[in-house]
Amino acid sequence: MKKLLSIAAAVLMLAGSATTAKAEGYNRIGIMYDLEIMSPNYGDNSNLNGFGVGYLHGFQITQMPLYIETGLNMTAGFWSETNGGVKTSLTKLTFNVPVNVGYRFYFAGNTMNLMPYLGLNLKCNAMADMKTGDSDSYSMFKEPYKASYVQVGWHVGAVYNFSCFYAGLSYGTDFNRFVSNDDLKISTMNFNVTAGYQF
């Protein structure tokens, strides 16, 4: 737990240091498709199809096109399966605070650029409600799952900018598990596609 708190503190410190940068920057707003893969220690993976919105601000930190980005995004993920005529579903709401370091490669007269990046992510799981058949929904944060409200992870990706529009891809995993108890352990990883407006 101490290691997790140290990583979370590092993410927040990087975000705070970015706000003191004095060089030029940019803003991005966009929509995303997010695929969250939950991998249990036994049984099959569960794929949550999700959609979200997000905002990022980039700060140029050197004379070279090297940037730090930070912001906030929100995703809602959905999963369901039917066994023996009984449907089980999961709805998950997550807030993410990424901190990225990226380098821009310009081409076509500087009207286009490609920025690969690497970053850390602070994930706050706000809701994870399961429902089986006609029963009432129940929260995975309670017994027997005792899911984690906070996860910290890493991600890698790239953003392609054309004029004031952009599109991006990223993949990442979490350092701590979404569920980690005596019987069940669920690891998570995310793949997302984003598109939006940069100004």
Phi, psi of 2 (to 5 degrees): -65, -40
Instruction: Using the predicted structure, report yes or no on whether residue 57 has a pLDDT greater than 50.
Output: yes
In this prediction, residue 18 has a pLDDT band, given cuts at 50, 70 and 90, of very low
CB contact set of 72 (below 8 Å; sequence gap of 6+): 54, 55, 95, 96, 97
Phi, psi of 111 (to 5 degrees): -85, -15
pLDDT number for residue 22: 44
**How is residue 31 written in tokens?**
């929509």
pLDDT number for residue 6: 55
Instruction: Using the predicted structure, report yes or no on whether residue 19 has a pLDDT greater than 90.
Output: no
DSSP-derived 3-state class of residue 17 = helix
In this prediction, residue 32 has a pLDDT band, given cuts at 50, 70 and 90, of very high
Residue whose C-alpha is closest to residue 93's, from 136, 50, 131 = 50
Asked whether the CA dihedral 147, 151, 153, 159 is positive or negative, the reply is positive
Instruction: Using the predicted structure, report yes or no on whether residue 116 has a pLDDT greater than 80.
Output: yes
Average pLDDT, the chain: 90
Q: Comparing 190 with 18, which gets the higher pLDDT?
A: 190
Instruction: Using the predicted structure, report yes or no on whether residue 156 has a pLDDT greater than 60.
Output: yes
pLDDT number for residue 110: 78
CB contact set of 138 (below 8 Å; sequence gap of 6+): 129, 130, 131
Contact 149, 141 (CB under 8 A): yes
Instruction: Using the predicted structure, report yes or no on whether residue 11 has a pLDDT greater than 90.
Output: no
178/175 Cα distance (integer angstroms): 10
Give the gyration radius of the chain's Cα atoms: 19
In this prediction, residue 2 has a pLDDT band, given cuts at 50, 70 and 90, of low
Q: Average pLDDT of 60-87?
A: 95
CB contact set of 49 (below 8 Å; sequence gap of 6+): 33, 34, 35, 77, 78, 79
Beta bridge partners of 78: 49, 91
Q: What is the pLDDT of residues 122-144, one digit of tens each?
A: 999 999 999 999 889 999 999 99
Distances (CA, A) of 19 to 15, 22, 35, 40: 7, 8, 30, 38
Residue with tokens 């919105």: 53
Q: What is the pLDDT of residues 179-197, one digit of tens each?
A: 999 889 999 999 999 999 9
